[in-house]
Amino acid sequence: MDERKAPGTMPPEKKLLRALAGLETEGVPVWMMRQAGRYLPEYRKVRADAGSFLDLCYTPELAEEVTLQPIRRYGFDAAILFSDILVVPDALGQKVAFKEGEGPVLEPITDEAGLAALGSPARVTEHLRPVYETVSRLSNSLPREVTLIGFAGAPWTVATYMVGGRGSPDQAAAKLWAYRAPDEFQKLIDILVEATVEHLSAQVEAGAEVVQIFDTWAGSLPELSFERFALRPVKAIRELLQARFPGLPVIAFPRGAGAMAARYFRETGVRGLSLDTGVSPGWARDNLQQLGCLQGNLDPLLLVAGGDEMRRQARHILETLGNGPFIFNLGHGIVPQTPPEHVGELVKLVQDWRP
C-alpha cells in the first residue's frame, strides 16, 4: 500500500509528518505558502504557455510541473498542490474568471435564488477530476521524503469571494448578508462545508498526505460571527474528514484570528495551526504550542528584503518555536517580487539550524 494514500496507517517517517504528530525531527521542516508561483522564472514560462490561470490549474501535467519547480530548486520538505481556493465555486457552477491585473472575478451570489442555482456539492469532484489527477501524478513524481499537501479554502473565506464577486479589503458584502440574514447566509456556509469535504477527500484518495484549510479572512469577523462562520465550519470539515480518513493531519490557517486562535485550535481539533505574521512567536509558544504543531510565520516582505534582518527574524522564530512541534513557513504567501535567491538562503538557514 502506498503510504501517501493511507495517512495515519503507517508510522510517520517524513520530517513534516513527524512534526505534525508531535514527534522529534532532525531539524525543522520547512515549506512556504505560494512557493510555486510568479517569483520563479520557470513558473512564468509555464504560465505564459498555459492560457488562463484556470487552464493551468486544470491541466494536470502543467500543474504538476509548477508544483515540482520549487522542490527541485530548494528541497522543501513539502509540496503543496498547485491549484486555487476558487475552483470549488467554479465546480459548483458559479462563473469564475481570473483577469490580469484584477485577480479573481465572480458572478456574485446575493440571495437564496443564487444559492438555488448552484450545483450539488456532491458533484464538485466530477468537475475537479483534473485536479485529482494532478495530485495522483505528484504522488508518484515527488521525492519520497517530500510530503504532499492538498488544500482548500475555508467556507467563510470562499463565501466572501462568492458573495462579493472579488476580493475586498473589508469583506463587506458577505458580512452584511451574514449580519442581516444569518440563517440564510448559513445555507451558503453549509453548502461549502459539504463541497470542501468532498474536494479534500478526493485529494486524499488521490495521494495527499496532509490537507491545509486556508481562512484568509477569518480575522475580519467579530467574536460571535467568528465562532459561527469560521470556527464551527472548520471543526465540521475536520470531523467529517477524520471519520473518512482516521489519522489524517489537518492544518488550518485562520489568518488574523488573534486572541481567538487558542480556542480555534482546541475546538476545531486540527493537528496544526498556521500563524500569520502578526502573531508573536513567544505568545504562540506559551499559549498555542502545547495544543499541537505550529507553522509560520516570517513576514513575506522580509523574504523580499533579505539580508541581515531576514536572517535575524528567521532565527528569532526558530529559537522561540523550534524546540516544540513546529514547521517553518511564512505568515502569508510568497509575493511575486521575491528574489528567488532569498528563498534559497532562507531554506538553507532553516535546514542548518539546530536547537
* Residues labelled catalytic: 34, 38, 47, 84, 161
Q: Write the burial class of residue 211 (CB in 10 Å: 0-12 exposed, 13-18 middle, 19+ buried).
A: buried
How do beta strands 96-99 and 78-80 pair?
Answer: unpaired
Scanning the chain, the segments in alpha helix (DSSP H) are 15-20, 41-50, 53-57, 60-74, 87-91, 112-116, 124-127, 129-141, 155-164, 172-180, 182-206, 223-226, 232-244, 261-268, 281-287, 300-305, 307-321, 340-352
Helix/strand/coil for 81: coil
Peptide bond into 329 cis (omega under 30): no
Cβ atoms within 10 Å of 152's Cβ, excluding its own: 26
Q: Which residue has the cell 492538498?
A: 150
Q: How far apart are CA 12 and CA 217, in angstroms?
A: 32
